[in-house]
Structures are given as structure tokens and as C-alpha cells.
Structure 1
Amino acid sequence: MSQLENRPVRMVFTTRAGGVSQSPYASFNLGDHVGDDPQAVADNRARLAQILDLPQENFVWMEQLHTNNVTVVNKAQDTPVEATDALVTTTPGLALCVLVADCVPVLLADHSNGVAAVAHAGRMGARNGIIPNTVNKMIELGAKPQNIQVILGPAAAGESYEVPESMAADVEQHLPGSRATTKQGTPGIDVRAGLVRQLMGMGITNIDADPRDTITDEDFFSYRREGTTGRQAGVVWLTGKEA
């Protein structure tokens, strides 16, 4: 058995490559709410399950609405979890999924205590506390901040994410460390930077942040760059194996 297969938790981010969807969703679009051919999305999701060597029915998706709602799930279900932007589980083999196209996909796990979570941290969700809410729910289920590992996936970078001055100030007030300046010298937001600071303030230091910018990197779908486009995913699951 390889070292990878033996890990107690797995965390994966997809790109836009490797699927069957046609333009403007080309090609590995995993979002079923963006206007793509439903069969193409189904084929892409089946391909994801095959690549990750997990039963397709074990994948749990969300109806993401930029809320700060967190839902605990401990069994598979046929439809997306309604009106939630974070999922938490203690069930091995249950793959929690987040869909993004500029928002920050956040994967979290305390494999020592058997708790995993996924969160959709866009500007509004991050501003309104989706990550503290997620961490607190993990702690309720037995996780310890010092044991939680976090990976922030590819997302809109501060140098590209231009917003009005009032919006930058508002988000900075609620998510300190998120204010940025774009390449053009205009007000911007770096949600990942704010989240790293927020997580560290909660006693979580095992943090990795993928620096890739979805707005400028064409390996990823970007709503800001393309408007009508697909969605890439972040996936986390507990394997049930010992470290």
C-alpha cells in the first residue's frame, strides 16, 4: 500500500482540465447549477469519483448561497444539502465537496479526532463568519484547534480582486487582514489573507494556502474573468486509516 493510500485524511482540488463539458464550461465542470449540460456534469462527477476511488454516492454537495450556515452530515444523500456553505462530518469515506470559481475553497481536518469539514468562503461568507462557525462546529464534535489542518485552495487574489473602497473597508472591518491593493493600485480584497489571520487567531497554525489566482490563471474557472463558466471543486474525506 502506498503512503498516499495510507493517509488518514485526503484533500483534493480540481482544475478545469480533464472533463467532457463543452465551452464555456470546458472541460471538467462539476457545477450542476451553471447552465451546463446535465449529462456532461454527471459524467464529470462520475470521473471524479473514479479518480478518487470513492463510490459516487459518497459525495456530498451543497446548495451554496453565500451564507454562514454550517451543516453536520454523517450519511450520504441524493440531493445537495440545502442552504449551507459548510459541511462537517465524523464519518469516514464521506467526501465533502465545495464548488468555486473565485471564492476560496477551504478544506479542514483533525484526523486525530476524526473530524473533517469543507467550507465555501466567498467575500460575503468570509465576512459573515463562515470559517469560525465551521471551526466551532468541528470543536463541538471533538476536534482540537492545535490538531486542525487547513488548506485554502486556488481563488481570487488580492492583486486582481478589485472592489469599491467602501466594500474593501467593510470586509476589512469584519475580516481583518483582507484588505488589499490591486495591480492597478485600486482597492481590493484578499479573502485568503484574511482567513489565514482569522484561523491563526483561533489557535490553528497548520495552514497551507495555494497562491494561485483564479482570475488570471486559465487553468481554473473564474466567474470574474468569464461570467458564464463552470466550477472546480475542493474535496475532503476521512479514510478511516491510522496515520
Structure 2
Amino acid sequence: MISESDVLRPDWSAPSRVRAFSTTRLGGVSQPPWQSLNLGGHVGDNPESVTQNRRRLAKFIGIEAGHIGWLNQVHGTHVLELTLERLKECPDADASFTREKGVACAILTADCLPVILADRNGEVVGAAHAGWRSLCGGVLENLIRAMAVEPSELIAWFGPSIGPANFEVGPEVRAAFVEQQEESASAFSEQGARSGHFIADIYELARLRLSRAGVSDIFGGGLCTVEDSERFYSYRRDGQTGRMATLVWLD
């Protein structure tokens, strides 16, 4: 079963009725190479194992399994509002938000950056899958607009993602970000990268995008899914692997 030591909880200033955490790879039933708490149904794992893992997750957080809003993430920028009526869908989207109690926004990752948002009054929460394509495309800005709260009233937290020491990208990635926001250049370094490539800090890129949008209270970051194979899945490290979940909901 999932234990408290198997998850990461935000150290942030959100209201007490806002609940959130990221799973690790610990606490499930999946066999190698997906061991053990794989929550992704699209990575080749035994479907029954995924179902059991999702049931364990629902029991751990104390809500019905059908009240977790899983998305079919496509590295895009579409944002979905989650309601009880829409939870049976699994639409193409890379972010979701809700104002309904007991409905969880969920993002699956294995290197990409999961970002959660909550307003200071505890009335709306959201989550985004911020891989570099979605991040550069504006998924965070789209989520902020969809939540319809003044950005200064939002609080953000970063779940675990690939760290800056291991995220090598091509020059086209740097160019895409810098073209949109000159300050993004500070998140790229040639040191440690192959010739013509860059090491990117996706945490810093997300901070810059949120700050420009007006979100100033930003927490989390600093972990690396590639380096910590005991706790985290990493697609870049392992190729075939499982997916962790970052969830946020209103109690």
C-alpha cells in the first residue's frame, strides 16, 4: 500500500482545504520495468496493475477512484475544466482545473514538469503538464486564464522533474523560448552539453513564465527524476518506464 513516506507533499502557503502531492514510484504492484506504483495506462504495463495502483491512490487520498481526472496528455496547451459530469471522459488535454470539492486534477509525468496552482481563498485549483513543448506553447498561461483568478492571487508548486544537470536540448528549443521571452536565455547553458546543444533548467523556465504572467508565490523545484532512480520514474534515463502522478483537489 501507499504510505506517507511514498509521496511528496508541497511545502507552500496554500489554504488548508487545498490538498496536493506527487507520488513516487513506490507503493504499487507493477512489475519491472514499471515497478511499482505506475499510474500510466499508456506505457505497456499490465492494465490490471495500473487499475490496482489507481485504486490504491484513491484510497490513500480518500476520494473515489472515479473522481480523479486523468487526461490524455499530448504535449499541447489545451485546458479542461473538471466537473463530476466530465470525469468519465479522458480527453486530449495537458492541464485541468476545478472548483468542485472532491474532484482531483491529475498530471502524469516521468521527467516533464508537473505544476499545480491554487488560489489564496481555496476556491479553485489546477494542474499542468509542463514539458518543454507545452511550456513554450503557453500551457501555464492558458491555465491561469482559465482559472479566472487574478494571477497575483495564485500560488504555484513544482513537482519532481528532470533537473538542469541532465536536461540537454537542441538549439531550436533555446531559440523557441528566447524568442518569446529574452530572460529565458538565463535558463540555458552550454556547460556540460554536447557541441551545439544546451543544458536547460525547466524549473527556471517555468518560474519565468509564471512570473511574467503575474504569479509571484512559487514553491518547489530542485529535484531530479533522472538522478533519483529509487524514487522516480525517468523516461530519459530508462526509456520504457512508469508514470508518477501529481494531484491537487479541494477538500
Same fold (TM over 0.5): yes
For residue 180 of structure 2, what is the amino acid of its counterpart? H
Q: After the TM superposition, which residues 133-148 of structure 1 pair with which residues of structure 2 at under 5 Å, given as runs?
A: 133-139=142-148, 143-148=149-154
Give the aligned partner of residue 206 of structure 1: 217
Question: Match for residue 236 of structure 2?
Answer: 224
**Does the aligned pair in 1 maintain the 2:96–2:127 contact within 8 Å?**
yes
Q: Is the 8 A contact 1:109 1:117 kept in 2?
A: yes
How big is the shift at 1:185?
4.1
Q: Deviations over 1:140-190 (max 9, x none)?
A: xxx222221111111012221111223222233335426323762441222
What SS does the aligned partner of 1:67 have?
Answer: coil
Q: Report matched runs for 1:47-126 at 5 Å.
A: 47-75=56-84, 77-80=87-90, 82-112=91-121, 114-126=123-135
2:42 to 33, 40, 62: 33
Q: Is the 8 A contact 1:111 1:238 kept in 2?
A: no
| Aligned residue among 157, 166, 182 for 2:172 | 166
* TM-score normalised by L of structure 1: 0.89
User: How many aligned positions are there?
Assistant: 230
**1:195 and 2:195 aligned:** no
**Which shows bigger deviation, 160-169 or 181-190?**
181-190
Give 1:153's aligned residue: 159
CA contact (8 A) 1:74 1:91 kept: yes
TM-score by length of 2: 0.86
Amino acid at match of 1:153: G
Which residue does the alignment assign to 1:234? 246
Cα distance in 1 for residues equivalent to 2:54 and 2:84? 19
Structure 1: segments with no counterpart, 5+ residues: 1-5
Q: 8 Å contact 1:128–1:174 — kept in the other structure?
A: no
Find runs of 4+ consecutive structure 1 residues off by over 6 angstroms: none
Q: What's the secondary structure of 2:164's corresponding residue?
A: coil
Q: Could you tell me which amino acid in structure 1 is paired with residue 215 of structure 2? A: I
Distance 2:75 2:213 in 1: 22
Query: Contact 2:18–2:122 at 8 Å: present in 1 too?
Result: no
Structure 2 stretches lacking a partner, 5+ long: 1-14
Kindly report the root-mean-square deviation, in angstroms, between the aligned alpha carbons of the 2 structures. Answer: 1.7
CA offsets, 1:34-86, max 9 Å, x none?
A: 11000000110011111111111111100100011111122152242x11101
Q: What residue number does 1:3 align with?
A: none
The amino acid across from 2:111 in the alignment is: D
Write the distance in 2 (CA, Å) between the matches of 1:145 and 1:127: 19
CA distance in 2, matches of 1:145, 1:126: 17
Tell me the distance in 1 between the aligned counterparts of 2:216 and 2:45. Answer: 39
Does the C-alpha gap of structure 1 residues 172 and 199 become closer, same or farther in structure 2, counting only changes over 3 Å?
same
- Is the 1:159–1:182 Cα contact (8 Å) retained in structure 2? no
Q: C-alpha separation between the residues in 1 aligned to 2:45 and 2:241?
A: 9
Letter in 2 for 1:233: A
Relative to 1, partners in 2 of residues 1:26 and 1:103: Cα closer, same or farther, differing over 3 Å?
same
Contact 1:30 1:230 in 2 (8 A): yes
